[in-house]
């Protein structure tokens, strides 16, 4: 899904719009350009894929134009060249303001490129032929077909290498357990401060995964599953240690029970009063919910990047 201002921009400039990938792309005024946004960072990226042609030796430099451009278009936070790309980063604000600023960035830069003899080219090798727009892991690039093939082959080889790497499940489990223990400590400290530990749940899950990878050699699907189980079990342990510590501080000390005995007394306390068992269950459920919300996207991201499960797609040139 793309916002209305992007759709309008595509219409007004005659560029293509990939609804699925959230990218506007194609040739504007003869210049290869892409526009995509990062919702979390609240930024819009306008990128031209271009180089000097050498036909206009007295032409102004693109880098100078970009350096001065934010004064002219105040929504532009930064603008610079990076290899064969010109990258303009804009603030995401109201649809109207953003739409106008992005359109200006596209038209002004394209004008400059045309006037000064810049030509569209592959980001990697600078070839002017056989260009297409590609989405690679959420990022956008313009490449020639040979360079894209190279990128694919490189990724394929790297994946094979990961597959061939031997993992050790036994040491992985130990690593995961040690990692989760760090999370337990964080959980208990936060619980002591009077909060249910959602952030600690994230720390716990991530440390369990990191621990597995560190000692197990690689994080495959089996390791991911084992680490998640360990994280869930250890969150339960953490909750009980945290709860037991509170029993110890409130009552245990007075009746001469140790911390460990206080933890063992939890079931007795829970059967004693509905209020206590309610608080116990509520904090546990909230802890798990926060853990899931915080940890799942992170875990999926970690797994995908460790195993190079990237999205690579060529956007069709329809216009
Ligand atoms: Zn190339």
CA of 85 to the centre of ligand 1 (A): 13
In a 13 Å sphere around the CA of 311, the CA atoms on its Cβ side amount to 11
For residue 89, list its beta bridge partners: 45, 78
- Mean pLDDT computed over 34-62: 87
Ligand 1 centroid vs 109 CA: distance in angstroms? 23
DSSP line for 108-162: HHHHHHHHTTEEE--TTT---SSEEEEEETTEEEEEEHHHHHHHHHHHHHHHHHH
Chain mean position to CA 211: 21
Angle at 127 between CA 121 and CA 130, to 5 degrees: 85
Centroid of ligand 1 to alpha carbon of 148 (angstroms): 7
Q: From the CA of 313, how far away is ligand 1's center (Å)?
A: 16
Report the alpha-carbon distance of residue 136 to residue 267 in Å, rounded. 52
240: tokens are 């009980």
The CA distances from residue 88 to 43, 204, 313, in Å, are 10, 38, 23
In order of their start, the domains of the chain are 4-157 (3.30.1460), 169-306 (no CATH)
The enclosing H or E element of 16 equals strand 16-18
**Phi and psi for 94 in degrees, rounded to 5?**
-60, 155
Query: What CA–CA distance (Å, rounded) separates 217 from 167?
Result: 5
Q: Distance between CA 319 and CA 310 in Å, rounded?
A: 27
Instruction: Check whether 319 has a pLDDT greater than 70.
Output: no
Residue 17 pairs with which residues in a beta bridge? 24
Distance in Å, CA 51 to ligand 1 centroid: 13
Rounded to whole angstroms, the Cα distance separating 35 from 18 reads: 10
Residues 67-99: tens digit of each pLDDT = 999 999 999 999 999 999 999 999 999 999 999
Q: What is the pTM of this model?
A: 0.69
Q: What are the pLDDT digits (tens) for 196-218? A: 766 788 889 999 999 999 999 88
Work out the pLDDT band at 318, boundaries 50, 70, 90.
low
Mean pLDDT, residues 182-189 = 92
Distance from residue 318's CA to the centre of ligand 1 (Å): 21
Percent with pLDDT over 90 in the chain? 56
Q: Are 16 and 27 in contact (CB under 8 A)?
A: no
Residue 114, token pair as written in the block: 């045309």
Q: Is residue 307 within 8 Å of 159, Cβ to Cβ?
A: yes
Which H/E stretch holds residue 165? none
> How many angstroms separate the CA atoms of 234 and 252, rounded?
23
| Distance from Cα 131 to the centre of ligand 1, integer Å | 8
User: How many angstroms separate the alpha carbon of residue 142 from the centre of ligand 1?
Assistant: 9
pLDDT at 12 over 90: yes
For residue 202, how many other CB atoms are within 10 A of its CB? 23
C-alpha 110 – ligand 1 centre gap (Å) = 21
- Please give the distance, rounded to the nearest whole angstrom, from the Cα atom of residue 60 to the centre of ligand 1: 25
**CA 182/CA 174 separation, integer angstroms:** 13
Element housing 90 (H / E): strand 85-91
Q: What is the mean pLDDT of residues 117-146?
A: 93
Taking the centre of ligand 1 as the mean of its atom positions, its distance from the CA of residue 194, in whole angstroms, is 57
Distance between Cα 299 and ligand 1 center (Å): 34
Q: How far is the CA of 146 from the centre of ligand 1 (A)?
A: 6
Distance from Cα 153 to the centre of ligand 1, integer Å: 14
CA–CA separation, 66 and 104 (whole Å) = 13
Q: How far is the CA of 52 from the centre of ligand 1 (A)?
A: 16
Look at residue 28 and give its three-state secondary structure: strand
Q: What percent of the chain has pLDDT over 70?
A: 97
Taking the centre of ligand 1 as the mean of its atom positions, its distance from the CA of residue 36, in whole angstroms, is 22
CA–centroid distance, 128 to ligand 1, in Å, is 8
In sequence order, the β-bridge partners of residue 30 are none
pLDDT surpasses 80 at 59: no
Backbone angles phi, psi at 132, to 5 degrees: -145, 160
**Ligand 1 midpoint to CA 127 (Å):** 5
Q: Compute, in angstroms, the gap from residue 140 CA to the centroid of ligand 1.
A: 15
């Amino acid at each position: 899904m793309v916002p209305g201002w992007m759709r309008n921009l595509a219409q007004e400039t005659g560029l293509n719009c990939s609804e699925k990938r959230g990218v506007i792309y194609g040739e504007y005024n003869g210049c290869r350009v892409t526009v995509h946004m990062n919702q979390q960072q609240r930024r819009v990226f306008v990128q031209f894929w271009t180089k000097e042609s050498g036909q206009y030796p007295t032409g102004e430099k693109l880098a100078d134009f970009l350096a001065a451009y934010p004064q002219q278009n105040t929504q532009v936070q930064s603008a610079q060249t990076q290899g064969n790309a010109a990258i303009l980063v804009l603030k995401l604000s109201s649809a109207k303001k953003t739409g106008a600023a992005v359109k200006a960035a596209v038209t002004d830069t394209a004008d400059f490129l045309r006037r000064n003899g810049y030509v569209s080219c592959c980001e990697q090798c600078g070839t002017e032929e056989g260009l297409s727009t590609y989405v690679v892991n959420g990022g956008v690039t313009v490449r020639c077909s040979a360079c894209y093939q190279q990128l694919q082959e490189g990724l394929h080889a790297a994946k094979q290498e990961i597959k061939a790497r031997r993992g050790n499940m036994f040491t992985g489990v130990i690593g995961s357990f040690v990692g989760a223990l760090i999370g337990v400590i964080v959980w208990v400290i936060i619980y002591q401060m009077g909060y249910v530990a959602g952030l600690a749940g994230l720390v716990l899950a991530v440390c369990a995964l990191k621990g597995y990878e560190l000692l197990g050699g690689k994080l495959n699907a089996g390791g991911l599953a084992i680490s998640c189980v360990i994280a869930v079990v250890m969150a339960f342990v953490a909750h009980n240690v945290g709860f037991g510590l509170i029993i110890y501080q409130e009552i245990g000390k007075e009746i001469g029970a140790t911390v460990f005995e206080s933890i063992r007394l939890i079931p007795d306390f829970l059967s004693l009063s509905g209020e206590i068992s309610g608080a116990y269950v509520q904090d546990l459920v909230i802890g798990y919910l926060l853990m899931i919300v915080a940890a799942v996207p992170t875990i999926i991201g970690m797994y995908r990047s460790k195993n190079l499960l990237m999205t690579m797609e060529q956007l069709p040139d329809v216009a």
